[in-house]
C-alpha cells in the first residue's frame, strides 16, 4: 500500500465513524439535535472532525495524511479497547439485572413455587390482554417471593406484603405516614431487605409503604395511587420521578388507551378484587417465564449493550460526554400531578414530587448539568404550576463531596444512596408535620 492509500484509508475510517453521529442525530432530529447543546455535541463537533479527517486524507500530502490518519485510527482503536474492557465489566451487572441464574439458583427458582422472577406491570398487562383500568394489574403478587436481581452472593429478593409490594406486612397495622410511588428505585432494586429506600425511611421513624414496581412511569403510578391511596389514606404521598427513564416511560404509557383513563376526574381505578382474573393470568405467565433461562441473546435483544458499544457509551460516560435524549413537551405530565394532588388532598394528605437525577450527571471531567436540565426544568415547572412541593435530589446530591457513592454500579441507589434520600424525605415530612415532627436521622 502506498503512503497516499495508507493516509486516505487511515483518515477515512475514523472520519466515517465520526460522521455516523451527525447522520444518526439528524435522522432523529427531535431527540438528538433540536436543542443547541445536543446539536453541538452530536452534529457539529463530530461532523467537523469527521469531515476534516476525510479532507486531510484526500487533499494533503501523503506523508502528513498518513501521520494524521494513523494517529486518529490508533486513538479510535484505543477507545474501542477501553470500551471493550468496560463493557465486559458491565455484562455481569446487566445479566444480574435481567435475572440470570446460576444452575443452583435456577433450581431454587424452579422448586420454589412461591418465587417469581422480576416483572413490569406494563408487560404483564399487555400479555394478559388488559383493556379496562379497573381490571388492570397495578401491584405485585401478595405474599409472593419476588426476585429483584441475582449476584454471585445469591438471589436478592423480597417477600411481598398483602398488596404485593416490598414492605413488611405489619406496616399497614396503623395509618401510614408515607406512601412512596415509583419504579425500581422505590421497589429497592438489588438492595437486600432492610436496605431499600422505604426501609430506610421506616428506620427513621416514618411508617412508610413502598408502592413501587420496576418499569413504572408516572401514569401507572397515578393509577396505583387511585387504587391504593383511597384504601390506605397515607398522611403524605411522594411520587419519585426518575430523570433517566420516566419521560420515556410516560410516552409509552400514554399510548395505552385504558391507562389514559387514569387521567379522568371520574376514573374508576378498581380494587384488588376487580383485578383478580388479570392477576391469575399474569401469575401463570410468570410461571412459564421462570423456566426460561436468561442468555446472551437476551443481553443483546433486551438491552442496548451492542448499540452502546458501537457508540462508545462507556468511554464517553467516563468523560462526561453522554447527553440524554431531548425531552419533548408532554402536557399530560402536569395533568398527572394535578390529579395525584387532587386525590391525595381528598383524604387530607399532602402530595410531593421527588426528582431523582441520573448518575451520568456526576461522572467524568467534562460532565455538565446543561444537557440534563431542560427536562428538570419541565418537571419542576409542572410541579410549580400545580403548587406541588419538590424534593430536588439533584441539588442535594450535587452538594455532596462525591455524589457517585450514592449510586450502585447498576445506576440505582446504593445502600448509602437509599439512606441519604430517606433522610431528605424525613426532613421534608418534618417540615410539614404540625404534630410531633419526625426528625430521626438514619445512621
- Cα–Cα distance for residue pair 334/250, rounded to 1 Å: 12
What pLDDT, in 10s, does the model give residues 301-332? 777 888 889 999 989 988 998 899 999 999 99
Contact in structure between 342 and 297 (CB atoms under 8 Å): no
User: 175-195 burial string, b = 16+ CB within 10 Å, else e?
Assistant: ebbbbbbbbbbbbbbbbbeeb
What pLDDT, in 10s, does the model give residues 365-414? 888 898 999 999 999 999 999 999 999 999 999 999 999 999 998 899 99
**How confident is the prediction for the chain on average, in pLDDT?**
91
What pLDDT, in 10s, does the model give residues 195-249? 999 999 999 999 999 999 999 999 999 999 999 999 999 999 999 999 999 999 9
Residue 1 banded pLDDT, cuts 50, 70, 90: low
Helix or strand run (H / E) with residue 336? helix 331-345
pLDDT at 69: 94
Q: What average pLDDT does the segment 60-75 reach?
A: 94
Q: Is the pLDDT of residue 437 over 70?
A: no
Residue 407 gets which letter from DSSP? B
Closest CA to 340 of 234, 184, 202: 234
**Do the bridges between strand 236-242 and strand 145-151 make them parallel or antiparallel, or are there none, so unpaired?**
unpaired
- Cα–Cα distance for residue pair 151/100, rounded to 1 Å: 9
pLDDT at 3: 63
Burial of 114 (0-12, 13-18, 19+ CB in 10 A): exposed
pTM: 0.91
Contact in structure between 262 and 222 (CB atoms under 8 Å): yes
What does the domain layout of the chain look like in residue ranges? 3-96, 103-294+325-432
Range with the poorest average pLDDT among 24-28, 35-39, 211-215: 35-39
Range with the poorest average pLDDT among 95-104, 170-179, 180-189, 252-261: 95-104
Backbone angles phi, psi at 192, to 5 degrees: -60, 155
What pLDDT, in 10s, does the model give residues 267-276? 999 999 999 9
Q: What average pLDDT does the segment 61-79 reach?
A: 94
CATH superfamily of 103-294+325-432: SGNH hydrolase (3.40.50.1110)
pLDDT at 168: 97
Amino acid at each position: 500500500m502506498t503512503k497516499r492509500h495508507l493516509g486516505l484509508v487511515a483518515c477515512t475510517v475514523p472520519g466515517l465513524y465520526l460522521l455516523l453521529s451527525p447522520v444518526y442525530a439528524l435522522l432523529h432530529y427531535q431527540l438528538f439535535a433540536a436543542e443547541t447543546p445536543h446539536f453541538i455535541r452530536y452534529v457539529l463537533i463530530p461532523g467537523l472532525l469527521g469531515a476534516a479527517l476525510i479532507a486531510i486524507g484526500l487533499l494533503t500530502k501523503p506523508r502528513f495524511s498518513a501521520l494524521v490518519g494513523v494517529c486518529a485510527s490508533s486513538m479510535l482503536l484505543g477507545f474501542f479497547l477501553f470500551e471493550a474492557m468496560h463493557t465486559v465489566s458491565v455484562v455481569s451487572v446487566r445479566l444480574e439485572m435481567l435475572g440470570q441464574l446460576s444452575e443452583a439458583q435456577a433450581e431454587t427458582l424452579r422448586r420454589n413455587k412461591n418465587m417469581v422472577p422480576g416483572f413490569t406491570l406494563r408487560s404483564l398487562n399487555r400479555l394478559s390482554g388488559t383493556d379496562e383500568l379497573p381490571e388492570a394489574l397495578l401491584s405485585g403478587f401478595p405474599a409472593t417471593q419476588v426476585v429483584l436481581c441475582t449476584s454471585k452472593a445469591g438471589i436478592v429478593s423480597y417477600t411481598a406484603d398483602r398488596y404485593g409490594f416490598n414492605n413488611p406486612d405489619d406496616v399497614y397495622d396503623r395509618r401510614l405516614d408515607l406512601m412512596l410511588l415509583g419504579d425500581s428505585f422505590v421497589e429497592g432494586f438489588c438492595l437486600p431487605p432492610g436496605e431499600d429506600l422505604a426501609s430506610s425511611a421506616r428506620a427513621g421513624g416514618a411508617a412508610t409503604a413502598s408502592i413501587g414496581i420496576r418499569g413504572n412511569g408516572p401514569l401507572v403510578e397515578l393509577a396505583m395511587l387511585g387504587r391504593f391511596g383511597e384504601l390506605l389514606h397515607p398522611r403524605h404521598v411522594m411520587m419519585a420521578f426518575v430523570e433517566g427513564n420516566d419521560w420515556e416511560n410516560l410516552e409509552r404509557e400514554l399510548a395505552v388507551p385504558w391507562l389514559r383513563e387514569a387521567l379522568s376526574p371520574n376514573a374508576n381505578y378498581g380494587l384488588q378484587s376487580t383485578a383478580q382474573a388479570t392477576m391469575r393470568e399474569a401469575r401463570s405467565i410468570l410461571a412459564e417465564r421462570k423456566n426460561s433461562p436468561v442468555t446472551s441473546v437476551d443481553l443483546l435483544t433486551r438491552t442496548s449493550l451492542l448499540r452502546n458499544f458501537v457508540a462508545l457509551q462507556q468511554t464517553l460516560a467516563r468523560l462526561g460526554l453522554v447527553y440524554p435524549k431531548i425531552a419533548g413537551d408532554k402536557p399530560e405530565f402536569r395533568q398527572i400531578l394535578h390529579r395525584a394532588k387532587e386525590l391525595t388532598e381528598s383524604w387530607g394528605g399532602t402530595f410531593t414530587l421527588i426528582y431523582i437525577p441520573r448518575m451520568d450527571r456526576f461522572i467524568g471531567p467534562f460532565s455538565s448539568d446543561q444537557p440534563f436540565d431542560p427536562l428538570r426544568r419541565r418537571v419542576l415547572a409542572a410541579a410549580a404550576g400545580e403548587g406541588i412541593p419538590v424534593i430536588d435530589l439533584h441539588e442535594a446530591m450535587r452538594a455532596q463531596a462525591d455524589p457517585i457513592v450514592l449510586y450502585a454500579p447498576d445506576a440505582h441507589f446504593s445502600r448509602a444512596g437509599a439512606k441519604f434520600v430517606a433522610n431528605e424525605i424525613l426532613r421534608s415530612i418534618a417540615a410539614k408535620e404540625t404534630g410531633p415532627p419526625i426528625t430521626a436521622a438514619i445512621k
